[in-house]
Structure 1
């Protein structure tokens, strides 16, 4: 979309360069493992969410911060090439663009080490400059790779403006109650759900306990990713989405793909149950290729898979949602 055009979705979050190496196994302390594949790409939850939503057909604007280094400028070019409005992405003259180092084994398991760089230099003023974009959007998608005061400012402004708030609570941490109360939909994985609620998420039952905790604290709807599926819970009912059977190459970016697809479906007027089904498929597709950016699916890919699977392929039971 063109810079300045009204966005369906505004994303506030991290922007990084991802460096990924795949090898036969993950190294332990002191190990030296020879890898056989290297990828360098655009990354960060904010950037992944923006690109993921754009590939699914939404008009997307990104609010974030990169350095003035060559990596940062290259990332901005990539974002524009994906159709993302970067008019609200600040260029920091004194901080380096964020970096993520990822190691992936042949089973798709990963280890990550990050240096947030310019992401942690974001200021509330960056959100204030994007107020009109946020107010005009249908959905705000926000993550925790930027300072908490920035997250809070974006969420509360969106809520006051009538823009729906979808929170990807990563990286894992506890959150203030007033922030949770302003969130329409939150999508934690097992580690993030435990950090938020104290509940160790191991299966559907414990995922329900964590989701109920978040509902009691004011969140409108919850999608908890457990080790064997995703649980959707609102005051109207529950939906269980078992893990889909796909050939996984890398789980990096699966959660980002889920949140992007969820935001897109909600923008299009779908219910949370419908949106979660759509996002569940997008997330599974994202694990089939290496790297977060490379795995983000297109609209055609998601809809083709949904058509093949049908409703019975996505859920083990009917949903009251």
Structure 2
């Protein structure tokens, strides 16, 4: 495992968000790059959530595996500069780091993934022990964590068992990805046992055959205390304590929507771990998701807490964004 003796954030003593899943190096293809050049980015849904939470001032720890290769080194460097706790990341010399191509085009983007047999798919229950949740306020897992391999799913489920035994909140982003052939029953069981469930309208339709919040609540049962339903540029809604709160997204000049849902989730969980009530946690989360669309790529496009606060206070969201990178951290 990687040992990093630096302070992961300046929020010593605050609850830790522990994320279990994969990280992926992003290769960007877009029109604003010179001919013959590719963009470098950083992705993986739970890793993105952890980065955004850290950007909002929350301590975040990532459990995953990386290959002993250049993509793995680039990811690890980025996560360290993003102030993630990387002590639970294992470098596996027998498997590569997963990658994906994000081809940004007018009106949207396409993803092509190269993760089969990656180091992250070899995540297993042996990577999970009682110290994973030291200082944790929440454990975060996604449907992708459950879908990349059977052993990764068992690792995530074992971590959730430990969290429940320890009184640690379990949060779940559905992130239904048909290309991974997810086990819908397994995902549904995990969602029903989670404390906070975050899903998009597309996720809800794919897993539950409905995007109506009342029906989603009925199908998930009484396990989740909070359900966050996102709807792209329309914003998001949270159901908590029987009350529904809606937040509209600010209008921004969209460059790339990749990773926007993860930004929303990371900012929302940061707010909840800080003790902010669900309606008040959702507002900056929706702003963070929107602001992330102003720049290409996933985690490197995420705004700072200061940028989110300025927009929340009434500043224009169309001020020239400052992309987050290891050089600017």
State the shift of 1:37 in Å: 6.7
TM-score, L = length of structure 1: 0.83
CA distance in 2, matches of 1:49, 1:93: 26
Give the equivalent residue in structure 2 for 1:124.
Answer: 125
Contact 1:51 1:84 in 2 (8 A): yes
Give the equivalent residue in structure 2 for 1:9.
Answer: 17
CA distance in 2, matches of 1:213, 1:186: 13
Q: What SS does the corresponding residue of 1:187 show, helix, strand or coil?
A: strand
- 1:141 has 2:140 as partner: yes
Give the equivalent residue in structure 2 for 1:305.
Answer: 311
State the shift of 1:115 in Å: 2.1
Q: What SS does the corresponding residue of 1:103 show, helix, strand or coil?
A: strand
Q: Deviations over 1:7-60 (max 9, x none)?
A: 621111211100111149xxxxxxxxx978731122111221222111111121
Q: Which runs of 5+ in 2 are unaligned?
A: 1-5, 146-151, 317-329
Q: Which runs of 5+ in 1 are unaligned?
A: 25-33, 311-321
CA distance in 1, matches of 2:185, 2:225: 15
Give the equivalent residue in structure 2 for 1:157.
Answer: 162
CA distance in 1, matches of 2:309, 2:8: 28
Q: What SS does the corresponding residue of 1:132 show, helix, strand or coil?
A: helix
TM-score, L = length of structure 2: 0.81
Within 5 A, what are the aligned runs for 1:161-180? 161-172=166-177, 173=182, 174-176=184-186, 177-180=188-191
State the shift of 1:213 in Å: 3.3
Q: Deviations over 1:258-292 (max 9, x none)?
A: 11101110110011111111211111111111111
Give the equivalent residue in structure 1 for 2:77.
Answer: 77
Within 5 A, what are the aligned runs for 1:1-321? 2=7, 8-23=16-31, 38-107=38-107, 109-116=108-115, 117-128=118-129, 131-146=130-145, 147-172=152-177, 173=182, 174-176=184-186, 177-199=188-210, 201=211, 206=212, 208-216=213-221, 218-227=223-232, 228-308=234-314
Q: In terms of mean alpha carbon deviation, does 187-196 or 286-295 score higher?
A: 187-196
Contact 2:259 2:297 in 1 (8 A): yes
Q: What SS does the corresponding residue of 1:62 show, helix, strand or coil?
A: strand
Q: Deviations over 1:136-165 (max 9, x none)?
A: 211222223333212211222212211122
Contact 1:258 1:279 in 2 (8 A): yes
Contact 1:23 1:106 in 2 (8 A): no
CA distance in 1, matches of 2:290, 2:38: 22
Q: Residues 77, 229 of structure 1: CA spacing in aligned structure 2 closer, same or farther, 3 A cutoff?
A: closer
Aligned-pair Cα RMSD in Å: 2.5
CA distance in 2, matches of 1:35, 1:170: 33
Q: What SS does the corresponding residue of 2:261 show, helix, strand or coil?
A: helix
Q: Residues 42, 187 of structure 1: CA spacing in aligned structure 2 closer, same or farther, 3 A cutoff?
A: same
